[in-house]
Structure 1
């Protein structure tokens, strides 16, 4: 791996390279556990907020008199802010200090959530959601990078990542239930509840996350042009994808925005090749493990978020279930994820991250195939429950595998950036696949009025799930090829060594 002129910013904790009292013989002390819990709390917060606000969209629209086109930005603005600033957030965490970035971003998240909860117009709620997404774009890579540079590569790191994954699942599952309950009290509570959670994370991180190590002396230069161009490119890319179903994928506006995104990325690459201290060392993208994990991440969140979208429509629009009933229907997946995830670290260590990603997509594909059997009067136990249980296995396998693969072999000084690349894969994948699924379901709208309306609507939902299943199946095959190639290379090295 190529070297950089940037000094590494390591955390002054029980180093992964020099185990201290907190990690000796694989045992974690109370302070190390506390730090991990706080970092998991930041992940929990993001998942909790996303789940709750997603359920609260209909009452927000009604209370603030928002149009359908504008209220969708309550969700999309968060995606835009998150996806647009992940690369910048990851790199600034490496350059300016991960603890510093984490604390600042959590504080901004709390403030923005409070503003959203007391806002009296839709525009302010959308603005608050954008700021919350942008804040999460800094907390996510900073928190993951602290974990990766604190716990040594191998069993300890795998265990920490599996716990991190479980906390995200727990946050999402609890968010579904709380979203359903709080929406009954008033949608504002879905914004106000995350405020004390964010404050708890802030004060916990202040006490338990060690200060960033002092920098090497000397004047530093910052790649301002690179930061501006890559952030603008990612913001425009995510915005274009989100709006493409509205303006048409082949429309002049969509094509023009994709072209402008390509120009911005070309300028960014040119800048990175010339500056002394680039925002993104382009050589990092030659890391096949990182790029492969980012592509897998795109398929993971892209297919699941799209399935959740279709499943929510199926349960609420077609079957007439309440938001709380829908949340309870998804709950078995979250509970199983929370139960399985803490143990996936050992499985990653035994089988390797590539095989875990493959196993995850076997389960995803099976889950979506089962849902294709659903009909207008299908029972929950016979259709939805098996799908949820398979997803409950797929998530911890694939998420933990992707996290470990993305950060293995990456220098400490670039762990934040690697986490940003991985998280970008998740968010951009979610935006692209959801946009494609939405467009597929909107084509040839046969759901009119009369006796055949429900069956016609079910056909549209199946069209969306066919896309989701196809993407999961293709990713499963590609993951298998990657795992087999990796196994072949390891055998070749062992043979050469003997």
Structure 2
């Protein structure tokens, strides 16, 4: 597709989908206390309103990406949005906590399909180069904005219209995107590969990832080192080991082993996960610090992250230009250095008697600049060697890396914060938050050191092809 207007409209649609998926997670988290009061659910039941979504979302991203390759990116994208809308409506009408948890699990399935297919469509619409860098910058900007908008809208809607309105907002947004999809994505459909489907690989990969996600998000409730947590994690790892064996033996693998043989792809996905191990818990810990130490209301805690998000929106569109000027690897390393510096600054600035302006504001601005640099460059590196028939697979891999980085980082850093908190005083809470953020800065430092090793293969230079008339320039004018 060479017409600029069509990709621009498609990018707006895909970026809006990214905004909706991030907003959905944040907006429901804000509404959880009201949900508990209305449905009479305790803290354990409420935790599964969030966890059910995370487990199915994280467990199905890889499968969703590959299914999109096999059955059509646009088809799976629209189907995922439709499922998300239907599940959100069921959540809004849920008569009890169990029904709401079930609806959230189905929401996660729809979100996984929509997210993986949306990223794959972006890769199809924007080939490797400055256009893709700008598109990934738009994704990063919408992700940063979605977290804050979700927190703000969650507080406003819950206070004014009740918690069910947060689910109806998802329904309206998903339906609008669903109606615009066939128009904005016209011409993006591709023919299914028709290579068959690796059922054994799908079952073992989804089961393994789902069990590991279950162990990570349920560890806070069951105990990080409890038999249930360790047993579930062990079962998940065993299924992934079976998955590796299956992929090496089947004729039509879900994830071809040759894909994992690419060093740059492995490193880029690892770096993407490390980035989220720092970033995602940081948002959670900062909001918690503003509320539990500085005494902000939930809405105020969300607004405290607004300056960071505004910097993300400003810097993200410029990331592509920076990549062209100093190179992908240097831009990535710069991003991780800023992420480490910002997280370290934030950790050292926290005090029990501080204010938002003296503790959070300045380091959060630095973190806002780091976030798009890290997210855009890791996504570029993770998709640089992708063939057209692998776009969904690449999308599933990088989304899975990010999702599991988020869940793993949150589990580790929250456990560190809790272990260092010996009492319920604000000083003890501050000590715990500081220790957790220092560990997050360590993750970013490790990523900065690893990023300098990233080496993408040089694009192959093929001789110009002649068309039927024998004119080599004719093929170039068609963009081949």
Which of 359, 380, 391 aligns to 1:383? It is 359
SS of equivalent to 2:305: helix
In 1, Cα distance between the equivalents of 2:39 and 2:388?
46
Deviations 1:224-259 (A, max 9, x none): 111111100110011111223333343333332222
Q: Does residue 1:464 correspond to 2:436, yes or no?
A: yes
Partner of 1:314: 289
Q: Does residue 1:415 correspond to 2:391, yes or no?
A: yes
List aligned pairs for 1:207-222, cutoff 5 A: 207-209=183-185, 210=187, 212-215=189-192, 220-222=195-197
Question: Which deviates more, 240-249 or 357-366?
Answer: 240-249
List aligned pairs for 1:297-336, cutoff 5 A: 297-336=272-311
List aligned pairs for 1:40-439, cutoff 5 A: 40-185=15-160, 186-209=162-185, 210=187, 212-215=189-192, 220-372=195-347, 373-439=349-415
For structure 1, the residue ranges without an aligned partner over 5 or more in a row are: 1-13, 15-19, 23-27, 491-498
List aligned pairs for 1:18-37, cutoff 5 A: 20=2, 22=3, 28=4, 30-37=5-12
Does structure 1 retain, via aligned residues, the 8 Å contact 2:273–2:404?
yes
How far apart are residue 152 of structure 1 and its match? 2.2
Does structure 1 retain, via aligned residues, the 8 Å contact 2:69–2:192?
no
For structure 2, the residue ranges without an aligned partner over 5 or more in a row are: 459-480
Q: Return structure 1 stretches of 4+ with deviation > 6 angstroms.
A: none
Aligned length: 456
Partner of 2:477: none
Partner of 1:17: none
Does structure 2 retain, via aligned residues, the 8 Å contact 1:352–1:401?
no
- Alpha-carbon spacing, 1:443–1:356, altered in 2? closer, same or farther (3 Å): same
Does structure 1 retain, via aligned residues, the 8 Å contact 2:247–2:253?
yes
- Alpha-carbon spacing, 1:183–1:355, altered in 2? closer, same or farther (3 Å): farther
Deviations 1:379-437 (A, max 9, x none): 21122111221121011111110111111021110111111110111111111111111
Partner of 1:495: none
In 2, Cα distance between the equivalents of 1:53 and 1:357?
32
- Alpha-carbon spacing, 1:324–1:411, altered in 2? closer, same or farther (3 Å): same
In 1, Cα distance between the equivalents of 2:414 and 2:8?
42
- Alpha-carbon spacing, 1:249–1:328, altered in 2? closer, same or farther (3 Å): closer
How far apart are residue 93 of structure 1 and its match? 0.5
Deviations 1:210-230 (A, max 9, x none): 2523347xx743211111111
Does structure 2 retain, via aligned residues, the 8 Å contact 1:173–1:335?
no
Which of 450, 453, 457 aligns to 1:482? It is 453
- RMSD of aligned alpha carbons: 2.0
TM-score for both structures, normalised by structure 2: 0.90
How far apart are residue 344 of structure 1 and its match? 1.1
How far apart are residue 158 of structure 1 and its match? 1.3
- Alpha-carbon spacing, 1:118–1:366, altered in 2? closer, same or farther (3 Å): same
In 1, Cα distance between the equivalents of 2:286 and 2:237?
34
TM-score for both structures, normalised by structure 1: 0.87
